[in-house]
Amino acid sequence: MNERPAQTPPPSPADFGFTVDHRLETGGASGSDGRPLGRAGTISTPHGEIQTPAFIPVGTKATVKALLPATVSELGGQAVLANAYHLFLQPGSDLVDEAGGLGRFMNWDGPTFTDSGGFQVMSLGVGFRKVISMAEADHASAEVIAETKDRLAHVDEDGVTFKSFINGDTHRFTPEVSMRIQHQLGADIIFAFDECTTLLNTRPYQEDSVARTERWAVRCLDEHARQTADRTHRPYQALFGVVQGAQYEDLRRQAAGGLARLTGAEATGQRFDGYGIGGALEKSQLGTIVSWVSDELPEDKPRHLLGISEPDDLFAGVAAGADTFDCVAPSRQARGGTMYSSSGRINAKAAAQRRRFEPLDPECDCYTCENYTAAYLHHLFKAKEMLASTLATIHNERYIVRMVEQIRQSIIDGDFAELRDETLGRLYGPEFARTAAAAWS
């Protein structure tokens, strides 16, 4: 008598989880009810756990530039974040789906994230830049809003029309399209389609954008539920809503509180599994803005701060309740020769490094610093050897990953404030550390 094959259980939100293991008792912000916002926790996904706080290396096109996936794991990377828009254009989300999903395609067996394409609404449209200015004075309004330039993205109520930067083809992204693409990519954590604004958008536009992002969020929840029901051959993918609102407290709190209560219009049982904090964050107010958002969000769901990796911003974000972070800066700066170190930035191409026969950062435990000298790295950059990018990226990624590991341990050990003051004092000077401590406490 033939036995029937075992049935694979359908994907379920129960396959994803988050627990708070320790709370930041001193040196951080508190919510309106007096509870500490900073915490150390554990995110559980179908492809493994993420110990938080954690920095997530960015692999935009299914690769962390210049690094093997095994190298990312060896330097402490717990997960990788890829870009849905770029993978949609090349090689195509359908191809990644056919390959078995993002992790299998890139030979990464840990957790994966994909963003929604919302950032490209800003960078290819109104922002016309690859990065968001964190200070209003950095760019003239015409530069950031790009009124006089040929935009590659146009926003309307239904979604966004993109022009491919590769060949000029026109593509249409809506909340439903973004969800379908991200389900094909198969990441463990995906983000709702949102409109990312800049600091220089007007207050009325920010209000309209927050409302539009919430309407899009409802559509994302409904499509996410449909895709989950249709694609039972894949593990459950956790959907994070994205909080916008720029530098305005009322808009940030409104956006966060609204997303926390939101369900799909049709899938009324579908809620967000976590939350992203995105958009324009004025650097001097980063911790304050994140604390507004954290205060409105549920305690039992993770919070991801999008596009942040500077050491002072990481300490501020953790103190204000953020759990995970991502940014291209460590790898992008490494490829240009800008290196992090325990005593401040180092230009690997500078003449001072030419005869420096010691590790770039003697306190670093990365593969590069344990095996090569600053002089050798300097030579590689000057000779334009490809190995320069690999060794530099290993160091920069390990530096940030390790820093966030240390922040996590300091929360557990109860010495977060001491680690913050010592680290920032060495990087930026004791006066900066004292000012920062006063601002965040």
Please identify which residue in the block is written with the tokens 């799909």: 264
Q: Answer whether 285's CB lies under 8 Å from 293's CB.
A: no
The answer for residues whose C-beta is within 8 angstroms of residue 87's C-beta and 6 or more apart is 61, 62, 93, 96, 102, 114, 181, 185
- φ and ψ at residue 112, rounded to 5 degrees: -130, 150
Strand order in the sheet with 80-82: 54-57, 324-327, 303-305, 274-277, 238-243, 189-191, 112-114, 80-82
Q: Catalytic: which of 295, 312, 323, 326?
A: 326
**Residue 392: DSSP 8-state:** H
Q: Catalytic: which of 97, 115, 312, 313?
A: 115
- Token pair of 204 as six digits: 């009325």
Q: What is the largest CA-CA distance in the chain?
A: 79
- Token pair of 253 as six digits: 């709190």
Number of Cβ within 10 Å of residue 284's Cβ equals: 12
Q: Using CA of residue 435, residue 436, residue 440, residue 441, what is the dihedral sign?
A: negative
Q: Answer whether 202's CB lies under 8 Å from 136's CB.
A: no
Specify the DSSP element, H or E, that contains 402: helix 386-413
Q: Strand, coil or helix: what is 196?
A: coil
Determine whether 273 is an active site residue: no
Determine whether 115 is an active site residue: yes
DSSP string, 101-151: SHHHHHT--S-EEE--SHHHHIIIIIS-SSS--SSGGGS-HHHHH-TTS--
The answer for residues whose C-beta is within 8 angstroms of residue 96's C-beta and 6 or more apart is 62, 87, 102, 105, 184, 185, 186
Q: Answer whether 151's CB lies under 8 Å from 122's CB.
A: no
Catalytic residues: 115, 326
